[in-house]
Amino acid sequence: MTFFLVTSIVKILVVFTAIMVGVALLTLAERRICAFMQDRLGPNRVGPQGLLQPAADGLKNLVKEETLPAESDKILFMLAPAISFVPALLTFAVIPFASPLPTRWGDVEMVVANLPVGFLYILAFGSLGVYGIVLAGWSSNNKYSLLGGLRASAQMISYEIALGMSTVAVLLLAGNVTLTEVVAKQSQSLLTWNVFPLSLAYFIFLVAAFAETNRLPFDLPEAEGELIAGYHTEYSAMKFSMFYIAEYANMVTASALMATLFFGGYDIPFTHWDNVPPWTPLKTALTLGAFGLKTGFFLFLYIWVRWTLPRFRYDQLMALGWKVMLPLALLYLTVIATLIWFLHARLGWAYDTRFAVVLFGVNLLLAVPLFWVLDRGHIVSGSVTEERA
């Protein structure tokens, strides 16, 4: 029991400190990547290559004057940033990020809390962040903030359903809701990574994850041109910063989830020795590096999309969520569940590379009509300009 408590405390301190430092550096990375895309230099004055810019921004927010609107609900106004910020951190607690680390007292699992219902925990805590945003908009007693909060709640509720439905297919293949088991199921070969047998589920999850984190092209709650700054119009100093920290922490969690659910988690491709005992510190270090590279790729994808695509109109966003994503997730889940049942129960196949290849082929067949319909002739057929008389 002492060993368990000590290792748990150490993991909590290390993991959440790493996330907070990573979030600070992620803000710098976004500004530097944005500058590169726009042929600018970006932050480069504070520290070597601008590395201390996040520290300067944090110090500035610490010493800024805190404002409190006279007509606001003061208690909820102060609590809202924390309600938005805390779930973003807690969600990461059940994500395994490396193979177990051996010590002389026993093996230490590289996950803060290896819950038997880890995936359900993520869905539950991930949905709590919307309360902070809605309460921030309502408690500010500002019409722009209220509209931003309402937009955020409608958007996050709309895409949360599709996100949850897309991951049911992952649980059907894994046969377990523990994320360590999900990773273990994908470790047989590269083709058994869920991105291949569940390609359309990954596509649905990716789009829904962008909407859930309020990132472009889904950042309607913060549409500066329409709602000033959305739900955090009345916030300043560190309370304002906590919303941004929560956004970037949600990006980290969503990227880690995509790596875990669809890209093998900490599994190193083309190898098997990293997934079986005996565990060694080298295995732990290499699997941690693999997990970090996969998560970093998705973080780069978030930044890349933000500075590439324009924002949706709000009616387009809601139509995509309810008329496309939700029916697509339900239909796909029906097809894939039927196929898994047929391969398991009727043909007696165990889940292996052959099983994954068959599912991948079905996903490709489904993807052709799907993307043809979604494309509506703009890319596949080429856009056509109507001639005016």
Residue 265 placed within a domain: yes
**Reported pTM:** 0.89
Q: What is the pLDDT of residue 311?
A: 79
d(CA 363, CA 340): 13
Residue 50 placed within a domain: no
Residue 14 placed within a domain: no
Q: Is 230 a residue whose pLDDT tops 80?
A: no
Average confidence (pLDDT) over 194-198: 91
**Residue-number span of the structural domain to which 231 is assigned:** 64-333
Q: Decide: helix, strand or coil at residue 21.
A: helix
> What is the tally of structural domains in the chain?
1
Q: What is the pLDDT of residue 381?
A: 54
d(CA 8, CA 89): 16
The proportion of the chain whose per-residue pLDDT surpasses 90, expressed as a percent, equals 18
Average confidence (pLDDT) over 171-176: 85
Assign 334 a pLDDT band (cuts: 50, 70, 90): very high
The Cβ of residue 106 has, within 10 Å, a number of other Cβ atoms equal to 11
Residue 375 placed within a domain: no
Q: What is the pLDDT of residue 84?
A: 84
Q: What is the pLDDT of residue 387?
A: 58
Average confidence (pLDDT) over 153-182: 86
Q: Which of 170-184, 194-208, 213-227 has the lowest mean pLDDT?
A: 213-227
Read off the amino acid at residue 11. K
The Cβ of residue 290 has, within 10 Å, a number of other Cβ atoms equal to 23
d(CA 274, CA 276): 6
Residue 369 placed within a domain: no
Give strand pairing partners of 110: 98
Q: What is the mean pLDDT of the chain?
A: 85
Average confidence (pLDDT) over 243-261: 89
pLDDT digit string, tens, across residues 103-125: 888 888 888 888 888 888 888 88
Q: What is the pLDDT of residue 316?
A: 82
Q: What is the pLDDT of residue 320?
A: 86
Residue 13 placed within a domain: no
Residue 244 placed within a domain: yes
Q: Do the Cβ atoms of 97 and 111 come closer than 8 Å?
A: yes
Q: Which of 62, 208, 222, 24 is nearest to 133 (CA)?
A: 222
